[in-house]
Structure 1
């Protein structure tokens, strides 16, 4: 991973799930940013602003909050990550795909920092964990179609 999460950030989560699909299939669903809204009800208007490559930005809304993100890692069928800015917070979001018997183990690591993350550490930590588990479940459903 080109950019690791911040181990000192007040809000962090690490979640994982096995998806019954190849890493290539999971990768195709996960990295089709413009298509996220089709399988994730909380995401609206995702738009990749160029090629799927480190340094490319994308905009999206999650649960009504606008986010400006930039890809930092694009390693096909293995690692995918971005940073994001919204409402005075800075997040690092990393996905790792690993082939396992019967499919792909997907691990998500995320950290959030900034004034709001410090002030609402407990609520944001719980919300981030819940949201990440939901994202993984939705990714699983879409990739296993």
Structure 2
């Protein structure tokens, strides 16, 4: 179930772990430690990471029992995000072709209009995008690590700027909740699709 504070998550763009770290419990136990980033771990996508000095930084990670191809397809099919994350409808890629550096997409979390620009991509391994939204500079990373039986999907996001600093505990809680929800939905959808095949 989503809460209204997710509005803050989806107006943002990116991620990493600093201070409070939100991490999902994962299965099987053999990959649990690997899917639980430490409080000072910063994910990277082709050398790009989040703003390590941002006042709000969060991480969520989960084990997905599905193929890397299935997880990647769901993650990068932005035009279809609304089928599993309806709160961001509409979401639409504006740049034709596969997701790549310079690709632009628009989405409408909680009725707001956001334009994000992809900065880095490594097929089936990671994406990073950024966008300024209502005075918040956000950086959002997703990383995908193939492991036995599936993929560890991690999302990290950082928020900086006056609105982020105005309520750090509230923004942190909202971002933590939103990122946990995002990866949990990715897990549920990917595992359902994987089981159908």
**Matching residue of 1:45:** 90
2-side partners of 1:89 and 1:64: how far apart? 17
SS at match of 1:42: helix
Deviation string, structure 1 residues 1-34 (Cα, Å, up to 9, x no partner): 1421001001110110000001111000000011
User: 1:82 aligned to 2:157?
Assistant: no
User: 1:109 aligned to 2:156?
Assistant: yes
Give the TM-score normalised by structure 2. 0.71
2-side partners of 1:23 and 1:72: how far apart? 21
Q: Which has the larger radius of gyration?
A: 2
SS at match of 1:37: helix
Match among 170, 185, 189 for residue 138 of structure 1: 185
**Matching residue of 1:25:** 70
Q: Give aligned pairs, total.
A: 145
- Structure 2, unmatched stretches of 5+, are 1-44, 193-197
What RMSD in Å do the two structures reach over aligned CA positions?
1.0
| 1:102 Cα offset (Å) | 1.4
2-side partners of 1:115 and 1:74: how far apart? 29
Moved more, 122-131 or 57-66: 57-66
SS at match of 2:49: coil
Match among 84, 93, 96 for residue 143 of structure 2: 96
SS at match of 2:102: coil
2-side partners of 1:125 and 1:64: how far apart? 21
Does the aligned pair in 2 maintain the 1:65–1:86 contact within 8 Å? no
Q: Normalized per residue, which structure has more strand?
A: 1
Give the TM-score normalised by structure 1. 0.95
Does the aligned pair in 2 maintain the 1:46–1:61 contact within 8 Å? yes
**Matching residue of 2:110:** 63
2-side partners of 1:14 and 1:128: how far apart? 9
SS at match of 2:188: helix
| 1:64 Cα offset (Å) | 2.3
User: 1:119 aligned to 2:166?
Assistant: yes
